[in-house]
Chain A
């Protein structure tokens, strides 16, 4: 088995009340409950962040680098997705935001989508040369949660993934190259990427199908949003001069992070854009089944509203999408290399853009040995047939099927099912005290404390 995936999502057990809402929303059934707290299966989790959204206690946090590390570099640079600006109300001007960011200590600010025009041109050449995956539909590799979802849940489709570096990586390569050419020492450059989601963070910390990322650190988007807003509200920044502004981007670059932006830009045959990881799962299941055929390109995004729906964005996604579209209308259709210096580095970036193959790592495999796996699968079927199919979560697992599979892989015991408990009590195979102790092991002592009955005057 390959190394465990790195995950950016972590549980704070001191805040967790063990409600298990997170287990139910997980698209890969990666979470179960033990001793009153969620436990993550690192080989199933794809860092989509649905659990983070579902948690009523804010007991899930997303790891990030300490902001102070930007000062470890003589030349800290901010690499920020264009949707960062869409979080701010219209009355806050771009120049104000830029000034606040510079005030925080960044020497330069680059928007991630600076490399989108390069990617567009490169893919156009790939298509002309037939240099795209043979398997149809070709699937965009833009969203790292989707790439991981395919690895674990739809391994049949790994060869359909179109392996190109994401815009943030390409722009980071450009920043490094162009700054060193200007005489900045490489070790002085710190590139800090602002992430709208957990998946991008996980991808930077342990890239799938890629060598080490050129990004030096990651800042969570909502954290930076608050920091910038604070600087603006307190007025402690110095307004930068009139000429300073965000780099000019093309219309396509601004729509790129929105749902449909990639398909609209690439126009590859018959294409579809699908957002929300559950929608994507449903669709890929059918693609894998051969039930859906003759599609050339799929733009898939884990979040509803694509990156604007990222779990680390600070503003409502619909308002962000609206602002992004408004900004797009002010942009020109084409931007040349005079406006976008990155395009002067075409050949250099073309060399850098390849990523190595993405390996399938099926989460469904029940044993490394086929014979043993068959036995376990058979046993899991039999167990599941006797379970109530209520999917009540009370065993600590998201479904009856998940419990059956956990039982045959020695991760759980069948008595965790309360229906099984009742049946066993009926035949005196289990005492009420034993049944209670089993539930206490799943839900923790506090939730299963018998004094609850007294408190309720029962």
Chain B
């Protein structure tokens, strides 16, 4: 069983794969299966956290440019997989990156890694564009909010390693489960539509997702 078939190694022939991806983008071909790459070392992730903090603290444009160079092309790829066309994806990415600049001081590496934080910003920007209503967000200062029973565990260590650990965990899933996890984030389809496409009962799709999430959760919690 080739559980990680959608994780394509970037170490060999990355330029070739990238060229394939570019051609596919221009032709607006479906991109499933060719867009994943093995993560860079965890050190890089730690420095993305540092770059966001530099933007927050010093309004550091060079740091921002570095974040842009890394994340903008990946966010665009994510948005296009969800069915956003090239021009619109580019606009949403630009809006998201402007938000990264503006909201940098709300980034907290104990709560989320750089990539997680930037993912949530792009996710929200995409939704705001699709709907006349803004995506509802929690207000940490809301008087009606029930606070965490204890301060959330310091996620710093987890944030720095989580990307690698999580991807490894996805890779270790049976192919049928890792495919569903990927579809859950990157296909703009409901569970029912996914089930129809895969000719599976809805209950089977839900239970496979549940199984996959259960395994993922154990991996993430092991980090703590």
Q: Do A and B come from one complex?
A: no
